[in-house]
Chains A and B, each alone.
Chain A
Amino acid sequence: MSNLLLCQGNFCTFLCPHGDDLCLNSLKDLFNRATNLSQDIYNLSSKMFKEFDKRYAQGKGYITMALNSCHTSSLPTPEDKEQAQQTHHEVLMSLILGLLRSWNDPLYHLVTEVRGMKGVPDAILSRAIEIEEENKRLLEGMEMIFGQVIPGAKETEPYPVWSGLPSLQTKDEEARHSAFYNLLHCLRRDSSKIDTYLKLLNCRIIYNNNC
């Protein structure tokens, strides 16, 4: 399919001013890889959450505590398809970047603290490590692409800061498990958001809403 039919709009013309196939194909490839990464991060976090839930959270009702506990809830993310489709791609991009950035720190601590948990299944720990790694990679890639489009995106824009470290380190095992549950619950959700937004952008920008 000719690239001329696809990738219209300011984004493409901005990133590929000459509209040449090589540039457009590179962009296509970049998005493809980004969505693969984000999908993988989601899969890992979903499995990790389920594993933790099965192991530590049965009948505990941690979910009640998890409501409204995500540190990224302050970000104005769209919550259904219509909202998302009405959101400008630049906004979507900065949301993605904000989410990715805001998870750098919690992921780091997650790995550290999960390691310290007694009897933690390897399925949880290994996935945590991998997620942390992939998150960094995805952030780098997104900063590379989006940074060119969004004015000021490369600067340190404020992003939600996570302050849940103390609760992860508390001595009370129940409280600690609850804190982990929260964190993993929020991680699963935010990785789903990132994944969906990226796929939206991909189909919108690269394939002209014709995925």
Chain B
Amino acid sequence: LYASLLNGQSPPEKPKLIKCRSPGKETFTCWWEPGADGGLPTNYTLTYHKEGETLIHECPDYKTGGPNSCYFSKKYTSIWKMYVITVSAINQMGISPSDPLYVDVTYIVEPEPPMNLTLELKHPEDRKPYLWIKWSPPTLTDVKSGWFSIQHEIRLKPEKATDWETHFAPKLTQLKIFNLYPGQKYLVQIRCKPDHGYWSEWSPESSIQIPNDFPVKDTSMWIFVGVLSAVICLIMVWAVALKGYSMVTCILPPVPGPKIKGFDIHLLEKGKSEEFLRALESQDFLPTSDCEDLLMEFIEVDDSEDQHLMPRPSKEHMEQGVKPMHLDPDTDSGRGSCDSPSLLSEKCDEPQAYPSKFHIPEGPEKLENPETNLTCLQAPQSTNGEGKIPYFLANGPKSSTWPFPQPPSLYSPRYSYHNIADVCELALGMAGTTATLLDQTDQHAFTPSKTIETGGEGKATKQRESEAYSSEPDQDMAWPLLQDKTPLFSAKPLEYVEIHKVSQDGVLALFPKQNEKVDAPETSKEYSKVSRVTDSNILVLIPDPQAQKKK
């Protein structure tokens, strides 16, 4: 021994166990690193014992794993058991055991890379082209029985690129790669990992050349998409062109200007007075239900034998042979309670009093229509305080209803809010057309002067406009005063209703101003009994039964 020491020989240095690995959880191999051999031939012995056992075994196979290794075959491999492994270096001088290594095969699994990596380019019809990668599980792993479970990872890159593109493929043995660049050579590698263990090494590179004409994308689909988009664009452009304005207004509606409800300038400009007035009418200016709410009333002075109920004015007109005096078919409008059945029944035999339509007479100015004696009177600017003076329009003797030869649907009793002047002009304009409709017997001018002249009771309750204008009605029964919106419609000769008398009851007896052709007494009409005065100072007149009877 002394001689060995003098020779510089010594026991070997402790070897060191590096690692142990199991490729498939069925066998494993351990490697060690020898130390200095101490100048003497050194043998290494690996010994081990298992957890729960006391028996010490020696390595069964030093060869298979290469130098400085120990291979444990299936027979010697147990899972879920700790191995305590020691390697000893032995030389003539001594034995040097290594530190023990505690190994549980379960946790040292590191498989081989997958095998048989194959690459194939596929280009099916009607679908996107792709690279089809296939492989087999690594050796020594039993996947089929479930003893070994693997996950995979593939990476590829164009040959000259630096970064890899990585894909994960759990449990499968194939993968499809899309969107490859044509004309490139791709390198592909794969590795795998067990469920409890380490990743394998990367497999050797496989390469594949993508041909230049390899379509990157499914072109037919893109062609279809492009055509469809073009068609849609064309349709949209066409739609915009056709309806550009309305679309713009839809998106950016114009700011509405001030507007009178029902007042349509355009209709007026066009001269469509009918529609214009109708538009106004439709705004419900005229109260429809209650006589007291009436701002405007119609009085129809009926001096003919034919007494018909209001509800059928148009018919009556026709019967009179008068051309379309066409009252608004809605007979309720503007007539208020005067129209109510009770009232009507009352008036059955008598000249009916329709809600009167007051026409604001014109004071100074008169437009005369020689044919029809239609006078368009301007409402006096200076009102006599209360307002305008109503203007009664009475029928001619033979007409039982409306005095107005209304062109169809134009002059409706509801046009109470029209601007009188405009209406006058309209009426005049229409006058010519309706001249023939006029009852020839009724040729009365609306001249205030005339009306004033007519006699009658001294009471101021004469109905002539001028009189009404010039003199405040002394009566308490104010004339129904019209706001400045009465329509003037009559193209027909209007009859004046002259106040015949005022009876003690406060009944106003009226009769038309007759012309020569009319039989005065016969046609003296007792017009209206004042039924009441409305809030807006409108006199509601009804035929005076007493007066009629007296006749």
Contacts and interface: CB of A to CB of B under 8 A. Distances in A.
Contacts of B80: 77, 79, 189, 192-193
A204 B106 contact: no
A7 to B, nearest CB: 14
Size class of the A contact interface (CB-based, 8 Å): 20 to 34
A42 interface: yes
B176 interface: no
Interface stretch (A20-28, A80-88, A131-139, A163-171): A80-88
Interface string A172-207: 000000000000000001001101100111111001
Interface string B287-322: 000000000000000000000000000000000000
B51 to A, nearest CB: 5
B25 A46 contact: no
B196 A46 contact: yes
A102 B79 CA distance: 20
A126 interface: no
Contacts of A79: 78-81
B102 to A, nearest CB: 5
B7 to A, nearest CB: 37
A189 B106 contact: yes
B259 interface: no
Interface stretch (B141-149, B237-245, B353-361, B484-492): B141-149
B314 to A, nearest CB: 80
Contacts of A80: 26, 74, 77-79
B145 A211 contact: yes
Given A67-B52, A73-B52, A81 B147 contact: yes
Contacts of B107: 46
B145 A209 contact: yes
B147 A200 contact: yes
A73 B149 CA distance: 25
Contacts of A201: 146
A112 interface: no
Contacts of B175: none
Contacts of B25: 81
Nearest to B146: A203
A67 B146 contact: no
B138 to A, nearest CB: 15
B104 interface: yes
A81 B52 contact: no
A161 interface: no
Given A42-B195, A193-B80, A81 B142 contact: yes
Contacts of A192: 80, 106, 196
A61 B283 CA distance: 103
Contacts of B84: 67
Contact of A200 (B81, B146, B195): B146
Nearest to A64: B102
Interface in A24-41: 39
Interface in B1-56: 25-26, 51-52
Interface in A101-138: none
A74 to B, nearest CB: 11
Interface string A41-81: 01000100000000000000001001110000100010111
A47 B268 CA distance: 91
Contacts of B51: 67-68
Contacts of A85: 145, 147
Contact of B145 (A42, A66, A81): A81
Nearest to A50: B107
B165 to A, nearest CB: 26
A30 to B, nearest CB: 16
A196 B146 CA distance: 8
Interface of A: 39, 42, 46, 63, 66-68, 73, 77, 79-82, 84-85, 189, 192-193, 195-196, 199-204, 207, 209-211
Interface of B: 25-26, 51-52, 74, 77-82, 84, 102, 104, 106-107, 142-147, 149, 195-196
Given A200-B146, A209-B146, 11 more contacts: A46-B107, A81-B25, A81-B79, A189-B80, A195-B196, A199-B147, A200-B145, A202-B146, A204-B145, A209-B144, A209-B145
